[in-house]
Structure 1
Amino acid sequence: MHKVTPYLELDEEAKQLVDHANNKTITLTVSESAVLHQLILSISSVCTKEDLLAAGWPERVVAATSLTQCVSTLRKKLEPYPEVVLRTIAGRGYQLNVSTRSHIKMLAVNDAESVRAALVDVSLLVKLSGIVILILIALSMWYFSDYHGVVKAKNSWDATKKVPLNIGGTEQDVQLIHKDNVAHLHPSMWQKHLAPESNHLDGMSKFNGYALTDGNYYSMAVCPDADQNKCLGKGLINITAIDLTPAGLNMQTFTELTHKMEKRIRYNRVIIPHDEPGTSGFVEHHYHADVYYPVQGNMLVRSDISLSLIYKGENVGKFYSAACVTDEECETTPIKYKIKGDFTQYREKINDLDVDVFHVKVTQKDLINPEHVSPSAMHFYREIRKHEIIDSDLYFYRIYKDSETAVWIVPILGNLVAWYEYDKVKL
């Protein structure tokens, strides 16, 4: 058998062309087979008429027209294969040329040699074009992938700075996290809402904390009497400023008021129904925080926030979040906003800060409209309504955790940081 192309062979003994791509044979005469064999042996070179006459009609004397007729018939039989060209070289003879386009059909046969030939024979331009196309496909897949969204989201934050905070008369440097484009990062942006003349808490000797801003809100999460590795979850302080005017917060009065507000019914203690499909036999990882929003001249507003994770794999599962907003005098009937979705967890870094990024694809949103909203809480109602309309993909960041607590950056009511109590519930 002699190859003409990766899928077309000359069977000289059977006097036929074997087409493996289309699973058929083309019958040849003795002379046609011999002439084609001689052309294949000298492929891309010129075969003289004398050589071809000797090959096709050995020990016979025939007219030159016999060769002309033989070549004409061979051309007709090779017509289905435009990549195989039998040329007439004026005054010299004939030449068989096979284009590398024949490798287009290489997958029609199980021939490793043909596959290798296809890869080697194609021009450098074709190879480079193929490489460029593959790179563009890979970049396109990356750009539209969920992970690219995660990387883009977490890269919008910066965690290279610390900021000093004075909480209850104790000053300490805390980790600052901010959006890249935020210009105002002076400590006063957080400190000015605490009235300096009343910034005192009995028993406060040390704390651990985090400060965060997206340029609109300035929030801080503080665990009293904590070190870098452990927070007992007692007396957590989560304050978010939504207004640049100093709120004049009296820390002693604030602490007493928060104790009073937190003794009320916690709407978000259990946010997953016991009969929730697909949760039986799982563990609910539940996080809860109270976030306070002081504004000068307004009642203190609290957001009772819960997050719950149910893992269905190593880093995927169901995500539940609920926020309930009310004010200190309960003038605002509860504004309740719940979301459900599917999460994928990624272990990432914001600069040198280790974070768990939870990409949540929201599948359900529920807003319970209040009967009455006081002026103090109207801002939050509008924010929640905006979230209800636009939320589809959300990114939550867990930047600290121990056995009792965790610190999260959440995109609810603006981007804010809060210290959460943590517990597990078996379902």
Structure 2
Amino acid sequence: MHKITAYLFLDEQAKQLVDQVHGTSISLTFSEAAVLALLLSSPNAIFTKEALLEAGWPDRVVAPTSLTQCISTLRKKLEPYTEVQLKTIARRGYQLHVSEQSHVKMLAINDADAIRDAIVGVSAWTKFAGIALLCVILAIVWYVSDRHAMVKHLVKWHADKFISLNIGGTVGTAQMFYIGDEEHLHPSLWQKHLAPEGNLVDSIKHFSAFVATDGHNYSMAICPELDADACNGSGIINITALDAKPAGLNMAEFIPLSQQMEQRIRYNRIVLPTDDTAMGELLEHNYHADIYFPVAGELLVRNDLSMSLVYEGKNKGKFYSTSCITDQDCLTTPIKYTIRGEFEQYQTEISNLKVDVFHVKVQQKELTKPDEVSASAMQFYREIRKHDIRDEDLFYYRIYQNEQTAVWIIPQMGQVVAWAQYSQIKL
């Protein structure tokens, strides 16, 4: 088998040209096969008519026109392969020239030599252009990929700082997550929304805490346990300040008020009997948090938030979230906002802290227009309405989890940190 190009071969024994691209063959006469084999034995060499006559008609005496006719027929059979040229060299003989670019058709995937020749045989400029084109294609693929979108969002966040908080007269340290520079990270930007240190709460002896800011709001997630791993969900406090004006939230009054609101108004918490023996087809990972938004001189507004994840693969599945927003006097009928979509989970780090990022592609949104909205809750309705119109991709960060609770950064009213109760529900 004589190789002509990366995909075209001469089978001298079977007397045919074999086209591996189209899976076809072209029959040759004995003389055509022999003449072509001699020409292929030394590409670009000039063979005399006498040498070609001897190869094509051994031990026979034939007229020179026989070679002329043979060459003419061979050219017609090679005509589909423009990179193969059978040239007449005046007064000297014939020459077979195969272009170095003959690899452009298609390489036989099982022909390692052809692949090597295709790579080595091209010019340096062609190689450079090919590499550049490949880099551009890879860059485009990366740019439009979901992972790039996640990384672009992730790099905004930092978690290399801690601040001191005074919660009801008890001082503790909080891990900080923030976007932007350090000019807006002074502890007072959180502390000013809580009442002075003299506002003592006997039930809080120590606490674990996380705080976050996107440069606009300041949120804090607090569990009254010294070690976050010991947090079982009881007594969790989630507070987010949306207004730069100090809220001055009286913690001694806030704690019983929040407990009263949670007992009186409950929309999203899923309460099902525990059944460890149940063999449900689906496992729902449910997270529930109550987030409070204090504003000086306004009614206390609460977001009753529930999120659920149902995995359909190792790191992907269905996402469901619903928020019910009300105020402390029930003047606002529930502002209910529901999101459904699909998530992809990425395990990564923020400032060397392990976090899980959930990229949610929103498929369905539903905003229930309330019958009545108090002035205190109106900004929440407007903000949610704005996101209801434009949000298609959302990023949720799970920055901590134990067996009973988890801490999330949630894209609602900006970027809000919340400590949620965690449960698994077999469906």
TM-score between both structures, scaled by the size of structure 1: 0.89
Instruction: Report deviation, 1:280.
Output: 5.6
Match of 1:147 in 2: 147
Q: In structure 2, do the counterparts of structure 1 residues 302 and 295 end up closer, same or farther at CA, with 3 Å as the change threshold?
A: same
Identity of aligned residues (%): 57
User: 1:198–1:251: 8 Å Cα contact kept in structure 2?
Assistant: no
- 1:228-267 alignment to 2 at 5 Å? 228-267=228-267
SS in 1 for 2:259: helix
Instruction: Report deviation, 1:38.
Output: 2.8
Aligned AA for 1:261? Answer: M
SS in 1 for 2:184: coil
Match of 1:302 in 2: 302
SS in 1 for 2:373: coil
- 1:156-305 alignment to 2 at 5 Å? 156-181=156-181, 183-196=183-196, 198-270=198-270, 281-305=281-305
- Tell me, which stretches of 5 or more residues in structure 2 are unaligned? 273-278
Aligned AA for 1:24? Answer: S
Query: 2 CA distance for matches of 1:13 and 1:336?
Result: 81
Query: 1 CA distance for matches of 2:138 and 2:93?
Result: 50
Instruction: Report deviation, 1:307.
Output: 1.4
CA RMSD of aligned residues (A): 2.7
SS in 2 for 1:177: strand
Aligned AA for 1:229? Answer: D
Query: 1 CA distance for matches of 2:356 and 2:14?
Result: 70
When structure 1 is superposed on structure 2, of 262-271 and 242-251 the one drifting more is: 262-271
Aligned AA for 1:158? Answer: H
Match of 1:373 in 2: 373
Deviations 1:323-357 (A, max 9, x none): 11111111111111111222222211111221111
Match of 2:394 in 1: 394
Instruction: Report deviation, 1:10.
Output: 4.1
Q: In structure 2, do the counterparts of structure 1 residues 8 and 294 end up closer, same or farther at CA, with 3 Å as the change threshold?
A: closer
Aligned AA for 1:40? Answer: L
Q: In structure 2, do the counterparts of structure 1 residues 246 and 28 end up closer, same or farther at CA, with 3 Å as the change threshold?
A: same
Query: 1 CA distance for matches of 2:100 and 2:106?
Result: 11
When structure 1 is superposed on structure 2, of 386-395 and 308-317 the one drifting more is: 308-317
Match of 1:275 in 2: none
- 1:13-162 alignment to 2 at 5 Å? 17-19=17-19, 21=22, 23-28=24-29, 30=31, 32-56=32-56, 67-68=67-68, 70-107=70-107, 111-162=111-162
User: 2:180–2:215: 8 Å Cα contact kept in structure 1?
Assistant: no
TM-score between both structures, scaled by the size of structure 2: 0.89
Aligned AA for 1:300? Answer: L
Query: 1 CA distance for matches of 2:197 and 2:10?
Result: 101
When structure 1 is superposed on structure 2, of 318-327 and 81-90 the one drifting more is: 81-90
SS in 2 for 1:239: strand
User: 1:18–1:26: 8 Å Cα contact kept in structure 2?
Assistant: no
User: 2:6–2:107: 8 Å Cα contact kept in structure 1?
Assistant: no
User: 1:316–1:345: 8 Å Cα contact kept in structure 2?
Assistant: yes
Match of 2:275 in 1: none
Q: In structure 2, do the counterparts of structure 1 residues 203 and 271 end up closer, same or farther at CA, with 3 Å as the change threshold?
A: closer
Instruction: Report deviation, 1:27.
Output: 3.5
Query: 1 CA distance for matches of 2:161 and 2:59?
Result: 96
When structure 1 is superposed on structure 2, of 154-163 and 106-115 the one drifting more is: 106-115
Instruction: Report deviation, 1:68.
Output: 5.0
Match of 1:2 in 2: 2
Instruction: Report deviation, 1:11.
Output: 4.9
Q: In structure 2, do the counterparts of structure 1 residues 175 and 108 end up closer, same or farther at CA, with 3 Å as the change threshold?
A: closer
Query: 2 CA distance for matches of 1:104 and 1:322?
Result: 57
Instruction: Report deviation, 1:61.
Output: 6.9
Query: 2 CA distance for matches of 1:218 and 1:14?
Result: 82
User: 1:182–1:214: 8 Å Cα contact kept in structure 2?
Assistant: no
Q: In structure 2, do the counterparts of structure 1 residues 36 and 183 end up closer, same or farther at CA, with 3 Å as the change threshold?
A: same
Query: 2 CA distance for matches of 1:60 and 1:131?
Result: 54
Aligned AA for 1:156? Answer: K
1:316 aligns with 2:301: no
Instruction: Report deviation, 1:223.
Output: 0.8
User: 1:106–1:118: 8 Å Cα contact kept in structure 2?
Assistant: no
Deviations 1:353-409 (A, max 9, x none): 211111112222221211111111111010111121112211111111112211111
Instruction: Report deviation, 1:195.
Output: 2.4
Aligned AA for 1:415? Answer: Q
User: 2:168–2:197: 8 Å Cα contact kept in structure 1?
Assistant: no
User: 2:30–2:56: 8 Å Cα contact kept in structure 1?
Assistant: no
Query: 2 CA distance for matches of 1:283 and 1:17?
Result: 62
Instruction: Report deviation, 1:158.
Output: 0.9
User: 1:106–1:115: 8 Å Cα contact kept in structure 2?
Assistant: no
Instruction: Report deviation, 1:215.
Output: 1.2
Query: 2 CA distance for matches of 1:181 and 1:167?
Result: 26
User: 1:337–1:367: 8 Å Cα contact kept in structure 2?
Assistant: yes
Q: In structure 2, do the counterparts of structure 1 residues 173 and 80 end up closer, same or farther at CA, with 3 Å as the change threshold?
A: same
Match of 2:425 in 1: 425
SS in 2 for 1:235: coil
Query: 1 CA distance for matches of 2:205 and 2:176?
Result: 21
Deviations 1:131-164 (A, max 9, x none): 3333332222222121222222222111111111
Match of 2:276 in 1: none
SS in 2 for 1:263: helix
Aligned AA for 1:187? Answer: P
Deviations 1:230-275 (A, max 9, x none): 2132221111111111112221112222122122130111399xxx
Query: 1 CA distance for matches of 2:111 and 2:118?
Result: 11
User: 2:100–2:121: 8 Å Cα contact kept in structure 1?
Assistant: yes
